[in-house]
Amino acid sequence: MKMKAAVLRETGAKRPYATSEPVRIEEVELDPPQDGELLIKIAGGGLCHSDLSVINGNRARPMPLVLGHEGSGEVVEVGRGVRDIKVGDPIVFQFSASCGLCGNCLGGRPQLCTTHGAARGKGHLMAGGSRLRDSKGVEIAHQSGVSCFAEYAVIDRGTAVKVDKDLPLADAAIFGCAVMTGVGAVLNTARIRAGDTVACVGLGGVGLNGLMGAKVAGAEKIIAVDISDDRLGLARQLGATHTINARDADHVEQILDISNGGVDYAFEFSGTIAATETCYKSLRAGGEVIVVGLVPNTGANAKLFSFNPGDIVNSEKAIRGSYMGSCVPVRDIPRYIELYRQGRLPVDQLINRSIGFDDVNEGFDRLADGLAIRQILEPHRA
């Protein structure tokens, strides 16, 4: 079938993107689903910093690429062998399908599936190859097995999590990345307990979800850290007990003072080495840094974080990574949706606006400039 899609053909375009237009809306060909796959009509796709890191070249992906990994939609065709989902079912995407057979899947870490990881690195689905081609017949890569900045997507069955029909479907896209990654980092990776003290460094969509997750878990002190006073204000509304502007030269000292010598957990949500250093310096003895943000891994912006191993030993500190919030999506996305229904996870407050295809490049400008937390692309809007 022919459809419209947001295609990225090369990275590193100059800002503003509204002028350079790195993302082009093209008519592309989408092949039908193979065995174990689904065809989805896209309801919404969230503009995320992970997409931005591909556009600016901070994270390498095969090109050309149809963007979008955080999204939602409705099943319109079911591939052979799929029996637990049917046409008309509403779904939220999760961007790391699992094979169920590799060592990581069998070890209880389906979000780190090696089979899906190998396919994702090639821009393919797990059965092999891409289902996307341009007008000249050239293969186009899938982003994380999703590519939801399009009118339709073909995905692995394991990429879809069925949700209730009464959920506002376009806005539900945010559960597929920002909610899962942020809340999951707190509840699954760190497993914080009531009374713990935490610092959330970086207040984008993922960081603010992490902050709300800390409130749900019963953290005694939730210290929000960012360079934006507007986001710090929103953090206070969402449950932060204290806020600190990271531009303050003594921001680490402020964290230590508020937490009486250091926090139990410091979450790095911004994807910068400076934020990781802030987190490490803010720990008490026995505390943990949970690194969630994606630091640039290619090009001139790629940098390393260093620490003194002796300090790790003497203070029993720890540094851990959290990918996709250590989530089992089919288990956790419904849980987080229920918290949203209860009013305990007001993720709708993070959605700034809905946009159409014509506003995608401007949308990424707004995201890069810190003027938006979540914008939802609705590809079928008039």
What b-and-e string marks burial along 2-12, b requiring 16 or more CB atoms within 10 Å of the CB?
ebbbbbbeebe
**314-373 pLDDT per residue, tens:** 999 999 999 999 999 999 999 999 999 999 999 999 999 999 999 999 999 999 999 999
Q: Is the pLDDT of residue 382 over 80?
A: no
Asked whether residue 196 falls in the same domain as residue 255, the answer is yes
Question: Are the beta carbons of 242 and 223 closer than 8 angstroms?
Answer: yes
Lowest-confidence region among 71-80, 99-108, 196-205, 245-254: 99-108
Report H helices in 271-359: 273-281, 309-315, 329-341
Specify whether 59 is located in the same domain as 171.
yes
Looking up residue 168, the CATH number of its domain turns out to be: 3.90.180.10
Q: Is the pLDDT of residue 208 over 90?
A: yes
Q: Are residues 138 and 59 in the same domain?
A: yes
Rg of the chain on CA atoms, in Å:
20
Residue 333 belongs to some domain of the structure? no
Give the pLDDT of residue 366: 98
Q: Give yes or no: residues 68 and 217 share one domain.
A: no
Strand partners, 92: 72, 161
* 118 & 201 share domain: no
Written as one letter, the residue type at 237 is Q
Residues 302 and 372 reside in one and the same domain: no
| pLDDT cut 70: percent of the chain above it | 99
Interval 76-102 mean pLDDT: 96
Q: Which domain, by its residues, includes 167?
A: 2-176+346-377
Model-level pTM greater than 0.75? yes
- Looking at residue 260, its pLDDT comes to 97
pLDDT of 299: 65
Nearest Cα to 46, choosing from 262, 351, 370? 351
Distance spanning both ends of the chain, measured CA to CA = 20
pLDDT for 280-291, tens place per residue? Answer: 999 999 999 999
Same domain, 35 and 114: yes
Mean of the pLDDT values across residues 20-33? 98
Indicate whether 58 and 82 sit together in one domain. Answer: yes
The model's pLDDT over 100-134, given as tens digits with 9 standing for 90+, comes to 999 999 999 999 999 999 999 999 999 999 999 99
State pLDDT tens for residues 41-77: 999 999 999 999 999 998 889 999 999 999 999 999 9
